[in-house]
Amino acid sequence: MTHPLSRRTVLRGAGAVLALPLLEAMIPTHSFLKSAAAALVNAPVAGAAGAAAGAPARMMFVFLPNGVEPTMWSQTLQSVLGDHAGHYSVMRGLCHRNAEAQLDGPGDHARSAACFLTGVHPKKTSGGDITAGVSVDQVAARALSGRTQFDSLELGGESTMTAGDCDSGYSCAYSANISWRGAQTPSGKDHDPRVLFERLFSVGSPGSSREDSQARQRRIALRRSILDALSPSTAALRARVGESDRRKIDEYMDGLRELEKRIEMAERFAKAPSSAHGGIVMPTGSPPDYTARIDLLADLAALALQTDRTRVITLMLANEGSNRSFPELGVADGHHEVSHHGEQAEKKEKFAKINRWQVERFARLITKLRATEVDGAPLLDSTMLLFGGAIADGNRHNHDDLPIVLAGGRSLGINHFGEHIARAGTPLCNLYVSMLNRVGVPSERFGDSTGTLVV
């Protein structure tokens, strides 16, 4: 092939538009030009640690609400993450002082979520004058703006709330958001897998043709895949590329079709928008099986990173203070309720079961990113994946030695030795400064940082 495909090549059919992952045919065949093009496409900014590796640097934050049961936490991590040794580090000694009361009284859950990625002590209010700070994901998103279709994605297992009193005089906006575009502006989040799928893969970039909304509804009602409408253009593309790219296209399409099928299966059991489930209105497309919902959101996030739709993602496993029960784990009690176990053995065991479920979701995401190859290396290698929360012991509500795990980032120069022990009281924001520098966003300070953390 004489001329390479455009990096912005998309598939079109019946008004539907689908972006593609990076193909070899999109890079000039001459080795010097190929290297230069890869650097231009992939390097986040000049001097970025990831630029030399030829892959875009990515970051994703997975939020764990309600803290952990500390006596079982380490054992849970070792048991669940054992297959990923060498790909993650348990971060010890990190704290969030701005999640503490500081004379504001109760409200640790709201403060913890609002502080988690901002490092800022939120203003205690349940009114419209909420104030926190710009979160680390949004600092990165602004610096990398324009390089991908979405500067960032914000996802969560539970819906966003922006008003009301959710925690001792703190607005629900604090408990339900970890991503903040501005001090008074939480980012909100997607919690419906169908809506996210259509947003990511069924519409084109701004200015391109879009699948007609009525046609999309008819397709969903008939359970027809968007890929069916794109078959002619897919066949034409396969004829233009080499065997390696054809294999990559087939794998990509198979992955999309599998996701569609899983979403459709979930929708068959989802409640209608006007129906209630346990007093909660279930939106169309949100699986009543909570594990299925989280896994779908995580898989869609991985696909968004793989196709370079975005390089910055946050995922809240649930809102902070969530009292969701987990019948699939044999836990009929609410999550928040068992986190305040008062040293009762039965509640501690139930709390530990939920913690294990949370770590299993994280481990599953690591597995997904390790198995996905981008630019000749596992996607995990160019992705810093942080898991944790701003409450340590769920029963005590302390904010020292937080449950934080950092995975991935090998091509960004991150080495993992199983455990990283920082001096007690080291701000978590020191790690965020280091992460910003790794994605090519030169930073000396963030939140309440006192320096950088060598990782």
The domains of the chain are located at 1-42+194-285, 50-191+286-455
Q: Give me the count of residues in the chain.
A: 455
pLDDT for residue 102 is more than 70: yes
Asked which of 14-18, 72-76, 97-101, 299-303 is least confident by mean pLDDT, the reply is 14-18
Is pLDDT at 338 greater than 70 in this prediction?
Answer: yes
Element containing residue 293 per DSSP (H, E): helix 290-306
pLDDT value at 284 more than 70: no
| Mean predicted lDDT score pLDDT of the chain | 86
Average pLDDT over residues 411-431: 95
What are the backbone dihedrals phi and psi of residue 37, each rounded to the nearest 5 degrees, phi first? -65, -40
Max alpha carbon distance in the chain (Å)?
Answer: 71
Tell me the CATH number of domain 50-191+286-455, given options 3.40.50.1240, 3.40.50.620, 3.40.720.10, 3.40.50.970: 3.40.720.10
Give the model confidence (pLDDT) of 244-261 as tens digits. Answer: 899 888 988 888 888 888
C-alpha–C-alpha distance, residues 243 and 433, integer Å:
42
Residues 302/383, Cβ–Cβ less than 8 Å: no
Nearest to 384 by CA among 155, 175, 87, 104: 87
Task: Identify the weakest region by mean pLDDT among 28-32, 113-117, 238-242.
Answer: 28-32
Structure tokens, 153: 């994605």
What integer pLDDT is reported at residue 213 of this predicted model?
59
pTM: 0.86
